[in-house]
Amino acid sequence: MQIILPERMGKRLKEEARKLELTEDELVLRVLSESLKEPLDPKSKASVHLALSDKYLRDAEELIRQKDYIQASEKAWGAASQLIKAIAANRGSELRSHSELHKFAAKLREETKDEEIRRLWQIATSLHQNFYENWLPQEVVEESVTDVKRFAEKLKKLIARR
């Protein structure tokens, strides 16, 4: 589903989402849930986060094909963060900041004893930084998007176990 907004409203949506450390999709979902008085249960939230992760990974791959490495970086980061949020939602928690995302990723690494989770999460985080600073060479962005796919495979297995 695609929503067409007036330019000023779209700009405001971006600003508010950034302030709240949410994606635009998450903010729209939150506002709709509140205004329609349709609260989302943990499983529904997890499902939305998983769907957003899949969408953002597809977007990242398409942006790589278009050679838009800055936007591909942000979409891949978004995919990774949505996976972390999906696991948290599945457990009845909602992560509301970058700090909470990092703490939860560290918790997952500790629970699983899988050091690769930490490494892959840090790669995703470097892509988020690249969105703002554009310092990564294109081949590093391409390889990092592949790493985020690996991260997705690992985390989806964790969700399937519950």
Please give the model's pTM, rounded to 2 decimal places: 0.87
Band (149; pLDDT cuts 50, 70, 90) = very high
Find the range with the poorest average confidence among 22-26, 111-115, 158-162: 158-162
Specify the pLDDT at position 162. 63
Q: Does domain 42-161 have CATH number 3.30.230.10?
A: no
pLDDT in tens, 98-144: 999 999 999 999 999 999 999 999 999 999 999 999 999 999 999 99
pLDDT in tens, 28-69: 998 999 999 998 888 899 999 999 999 999 999 999 999 999
Whole-number Å distance between alpha carbons of 68 and 55: 17
| Domain ranges, ordered by start, for the chain | 1-39, 42-161
